[in-house]
Amino acid sequence: MAFNIEKRHIPGAPQKAYEKGVGKPEIIVCHECGNDKSTFEGEIDYMTREYRVAFTQYIVGGGGRIVELADPNYKAYGAGPKANPFTLHIELARTKDRATFEKDYAAYVWLIGYYLPKKFDIPFCFNAGRPGIVTHKYVTKTWGGSTHQDPDEYLARFGVTIDQLEKDLKAAYHSEDEPVRKPAEVVKSDSKEFKIKVIVDSLYYYTKADWNAKAPKPVKKNDVFTVVNTLTVKGSKMYKLKSGTYITANTKYVKVI
Ligand SMILES: [Zn+2]
């Protein structure tokens, strides 16, 4: 499942490039806010006010909500001067309510394990150096510049060990979710079906509404398919077929019959 990301960028937050450049973080850091008295909104207000001291690009809480506090293409102040130049930070607000925690945790795992690694091309590697995903505690131990030990103790309150977090992030990383980038827009959704015929010798089709999701074997000239919908994916038209797969709508390759 995909989560919504609410953009509430902190006015005035600095926009400084990562060590490798704008849009090139190498590490995603898992945090938790460490404050039993605060609330999700309280944490957002705090970082919005105190961004000169500390802020992260994302915070999760409030029962599965994700708020983007700053443009993730630039570094934030989340884990001290040693690691900040190459790290992207995700905070998790505390709750005492298990149901709220479970929703928060699902959003946290999706954001850290699935969305951000795909967005920034970060391979799956956990608490094992650059590039990859680490805990704030790992940053303190490995690169220094910080004393924090989160998020271990807070997650443990709900029975989530760091080993479990790693397993959940890994499963999210490998999940076959819908494409993270711009989803397909339906431009024509009348359910009238029609048929098309392949007019080139060999043509790839797709397992998802995504030009990268090529099926392993192409189809052949004169093969006929039933179209159930027409989509625009990254600016080019694609037909959704009755079988649940997708094919180009380009008239150089297929013809409506
Ligand atoms: Zn932290």
Residues whose CB is under 5 A from ligand 1 (ion)? 31, 136, 148, 150
For residue 27, the CA-to-ligand 1 centroid distance in Å is 14
pTM: 0.70
Instruction: Give domain 185-256's CATH number out of 2.30.29.30, 2.30.30.170, 1.10.132.20, 3.40.720.10.
Output: 2.30.30.170
- Would you give the DSSP letter of residue 201? S
Backbone angles phi, psi at 212, to 5 degrees: -90, -10
Per-residue model confidence (pLDDT) at position 181:
40
For residue 203, the CA-to-ligand 1 centroid distance in Å is 50
Distances (CA, A) of 192 to 50, 230, 236, 250: 56, 11, 21, 19
Beta bridge partners, 67, equal 6, 59
For residue 105, the CA-to-ligand 1 centroid distance in Å is 16
Per-residue model confidence (pLDDT) at position 145:
95
Q: What is the 3-state secondary structure (H, E, C) of 218-240?
A: CEECCCEEEEEEEEEECCEEEEE
Q: Are the C-beta atoms of residues 43 and 91 closer than 8 Å to each other?
A: yes
For residue 137, the CA-to-ligand 1 centroid distance in Å is 8
pLDDT by 10s per residue, the chain, length 257: 679 999 999 999 999 999 999 999 999 999 999 999 999 999 999 999 999 999 999 999 999 999 999 999 999 999 999 999 999 999 999 999 999 999 999 999 999 999 999 999 999 999 999 999 999 999 999 999 999 999 999 999 999 999 999 999 999 999 865 444 444 444 444 557 899 999 999 999 998 888 888 888 899 999 999 998 888 887 788 999 998 899 999 999 999 99
- Would you give the DSSP letter of residue 86? G
Q: CA 14 to CA 75: how far, in whole Å?
A: 8
Place of tokens 């959003």: 107
- Other Cβ atoms closer than 10 A to 63: 14
Residues of the chain with CATH 3.40.80.10: 5-173
Residues of the chain with CATH 2.30.30.170: 185-256
For residue 227, the CA-to-ligand 1 centroid distance in Å is 50
Q: To 5 degrees, how large is the angle CA 168–CA 79–CA 71?
A: 80
Angle at which helix 162-173 crosses helix 98-109, to 10 degrees, equals: 50
For residue 150, the CA-to-ligand 1 centroid distance in Å is 5
Domain 5-173's class? alpha beta
Place of tokens 């499942």: 1
Tokens of 201: 């010798």
- Burial of residue 61 (number of CB atoms within 10 Å: 0-12, 13-18, 19+): buried
Q: CA 250 to CA 210: how far, in whole Å?
A: 15
| Helix, strand and coil percent figures for the chain, each rounded to 5 | 25, 25, 50
- Would you give the DSSP letter of residue 111? I
At 205 the three-state DSSP class reads: coil
